Amino acid sequence: MGNDTGDDAAVYRLDDNTAIIVTVDFFTPITDDPYQFGLVAAANSLSDVYAMGGKPLVALNIVGFPAELAVEMLGDVLKGGYDKATQANCLIVGGHTVDDAEPKYGLSVVGLVEPGKEVSNANAQPGDVLVLTKPIGTGIIATGAKAGTTPDAIMKHAVETMAELNKNASEAMVRVGVNSCTDITGFGLMGHLRGMVRGSGVGANIRVADVPVLRGTWDLLEKGTVPGGTFRNMSGVEDTVDWDDKLSDQQRLLMCDAQTSGGLLISVPKAKLDQLLSELAVSSVETRAVVGEITAENSGRIRVTA
């Protein structure tokens, strides 16, 4: 499995019993706290393995760091990444660091999955129900934090959400058996769902009222706080999304908000929905939002209603 459908990671079969999942992700700080930055960046990098239904095995640090900054700050970033990887039972076995004008951190991750049991973003089926496992709004909140307009309590909650592993949600969906999955990161909810419907040859309906949103997001939106990546995401889905005329500009932007370490968007057969929601609850996954469904009509398109 490669990048033909823009899937979350590559899958390479070693033998009939073992395949490896290979992925990489890194980015610039979304919080001023170096340790928290390490936590979130590692959780974000590990998420692609979870989206494929796999288990992280080993990882390598990828670091860009200004030589003039205190080396202790770099230690805190790496400690955050180490602690989050340890929580995922993933061993960090090395890495590479370069002098860079702007800090960057993330992981290259190798995971394991049994061949044939990997979960692709390209197998959603008509009649499936779409379940989202984390609220959205991290891009807007982080942009507000950089401008000094996001309250500390709102940013703290957003960081906690971003640092949460998708491990439990992934294990729950694997136990149930689902058709498709992707994690919601930089391309936003609409961008990643676009990859799913195009790769699967299906359509989708999404209801904005059912999409969970982080506390404080709407207040920041009303003040005009929107990251540049969110505007680019909105432009990028113009050829795919049919917006309900009742939706405001703010609602449309939120559906395209560029996320960091977002949740899993799972496409599950309707007959298995209750089982999935139950397994997610038992696994302590707090957000279990039914946000839409997959359709046979309008292949490759997404209809968004209020």
- Nearest of 18, 5, 6 to residue 116 by alpha carbon: 18
Q: What is the pTM of this model?
A: 0.96
Q: pLDDT per residue over 153-186, tens digit each?
A: 999 999 999 999 999 999 999 999 999 999 999 9
Query: Which has the closest alpha carbon to 279: 180, 177, 151, 144?
Result: 177
Place of tokens 């949600």: 169
CATH for 129-305 is 3.90.650.10
pLDDT at 147 over 90: yes
Summarize pLDDT for 87-121 with one digit per residue, the tens: 999 999 999 999 999 999 999 999 999 999 999 99
List pLDDT tens digits, range 26-36.
999 999 999 99
Pick the CATH number of 10-113 from 3.40.1410.10, 3.30.1330.10, 3.30.420.40, 3.90.180.10: 3.30.1330.10
Q: Specify which residues 19 forms β-bridges with.
A: 13, 113
**Tens digit of pLDDT for each residue in 242-283?**
999 999 999 999 999 999 999 999 999 999 999 999 999 999
Q: Which residues pair with 107 in a beta bridge?
A: 25, 61
Domain layout of the chain by residue ranges: 10-113, 129-305
Give yes or no for residue 201 having a pLDDT over 80: yes
